């Protein structure tokens, strides 16, 4: 048995899916859920994602050996301040947030010295959110990145890795800042583009022609992630500001290059870019 009790703060898609997977493995004695909506928490119990729930943070984390923060990253600091005094010595706090960087050091500092923080990021998700979107196979075969720094307790790190491995995830480690820079290009930028494209269709220059009515599978598939939680992605964009701005600037350079080739009727240049894109896309789906 990995842990006698874990507490999941935020029993939605990410937290609920982990709960479902752990309940199937039967390697956690008790899973406690915390959230603001009693109805959603009751549903989590009904579908066997958690064993019980609390509407009070101090009660939810009492006796927990591990606490998972599965809420928007903008809530992490306030949550750590609130739960810190109620955690027992040796408790592990980890997260499922898409931004690390300064968070790893900040959150560690907000917790008692005898409580261990381990940054984590499961690279898995769906465009839908909430407990009803949760699935027990979300993490099967997915990558989970743990982001330790020099202060991270190695035993706690191994226990968090074992937790994710037990539900089928492939665990690796990365420097917190390297994580944020890489994810700004491969995860955060695609969301920027998807949101921006849908916003563009509302621009006065085209909106009057009702362009969405003429769209087919291409637009739907390309912008699927624009259906993701606005609040969650707001927090990610603002928390990883420096890296996301860099990725946007780099993307704009590429767009400008393509624009210039179109203006100059450089068909061969366009084909070269498109072929490279084909190759990279092929690698990404292998």
| Tokens linked to 54 | 């609390």
C-beta atoms surrounding 61 within 10 Å: 27
Yes or no: say if 68 and 9 are a contact pair by the CB < 8 Å rule: yes
CA dihedral 199, 205, 209, 213 (to 10 degrees): -20
The pLDDT of residue 44: 95
User: The tokens 């979107």 sit on which residue?
Assistant: 133
Per DSSP, 48 falls in state T
pTM greater than the 0.85 cutoff: yes
Query: Could you tell me the mean pLDDT of each successive run of 10 residues in the chain, 286 residues long?
Result: 95 95 93 93 95 96 97 94 97 96 92 96 82 93 95 96 97 97 96 95 91 86 88 92 97 97 96 95 80
DSSP 13-38: HHHHHHHHHHHHHT-EEEEEEE-S-H
The CA distances from residue 134 to 81, 127, 216, in Å, are 28, 11, 28
pLDDT tens for 35-78 read 988 999 999 999 999 999 999 999 999 999 999 999 999 999 99
The pLDDT of residue 128: 74
**What is the crossing angle of helices 102-110 and 76-83, to 10°?**
20
The pLDDT of residue 173: 97
Q: Are both 3-174 and 178-284 of the same fold?
A: no
3-state DSSP assignment of residue 64: coil
Ordered strands of the 66-69 beta sheet: 52-54, 28-34, 3-9, 66-69, 92-95, 116-118
Rounded Cα distance between 139 and 17, Å, is 8
- Taken as a whole, the chain contains a residue count of 286
The pLDDT of residue 271: 97
The pLDDT of residue 135: 93
Helices (H), 84-229: 102-110, 154-166, 176-183, 189-200, 204-207, 217-222
| Tokens linked to 99 | 């931004």
Rounded Cα distance between 10 and 232, Å, is 12
Burial of 67 (0-12, 13-18, 19+ CB in 10 A): buried
Under CATH, which number does the domain 3-174 receive? 3.40.50.720
- State the CATH architecture for 178-284: Orthogonal Bundle (1.10)
Domain residue ranges in the chain: 3-174, 178-284
The pLDDT of residue 63: 95
Among candidates 40, 58, 59, which has minimal Cα distance to 50? 40
The CA distances from residue 214 to 60, 149, 197, 206, in Å, are 49, 50, 15, 12
Among candidates 123, 109, 115, which has minimal Cα distance to 171? 123
pLDDT tens for 241-268 read 999 999 999 999 999 999 999 999 999 9
The pLDDT of residue 222: 87
């Amino acid at each position: 048995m990995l842990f006698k009790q874990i507490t999941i703060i935020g029993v939605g898609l990410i937290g609920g899916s982990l709960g479902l997977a752990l309940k199937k493995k039967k390697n956690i004695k008790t899973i406690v859920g915390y959230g603001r909506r009693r109805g959603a928490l009751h549903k989590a119990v009904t579908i066997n994602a958690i064993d019980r729930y609390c509407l009070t943070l101090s009660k939810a984390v009492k006796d927990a050996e591990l606490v998972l923060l599965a809420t928007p990253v903008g809530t992490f600091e306030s949550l750590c301040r609130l739960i810190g005094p109620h955690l027992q010595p040796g408790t592990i706090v980890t997260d499922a947030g898409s931004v690390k960087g300064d968070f790893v050091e900040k959150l560690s500092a907000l917790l008692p010295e005898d409580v261990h923080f381990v940054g984590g990021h499961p690279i898995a998700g769906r465009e839908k959110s909430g407990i009803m979107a949760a699935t027990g196979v979300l993490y099967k075969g997915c990558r989970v990145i743990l982001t330790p720094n020099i202060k991270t307790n190695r035993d706690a790190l191994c226990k968090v890795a074992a937790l994710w491995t037990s539900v089928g995830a492939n665990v690796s480690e990365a420097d917190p800042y390297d994580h944020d820079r890489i994810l700004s290009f491969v995860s955060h930028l695609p969301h920027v583009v998807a949101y921006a494209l849908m916003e563009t269709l509302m621009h006065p220059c085209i909106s009057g022609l009702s362009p969405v009515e003429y769209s087919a599978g291409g637009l739907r598939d390309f912008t699927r992630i624009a259906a993701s939680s606005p609040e969650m992605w707001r927090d990610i964009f603002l928390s990883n500001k420096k890296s996301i701005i860099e990725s946007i600037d780099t993307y704009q350079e590429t767009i400008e290059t393509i624009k210039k080739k179109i203006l100059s009727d450089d068909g061969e240049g366009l084909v070269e870019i498109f072929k490279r894109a084909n190759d990279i896309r092929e690698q990404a789906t292998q």
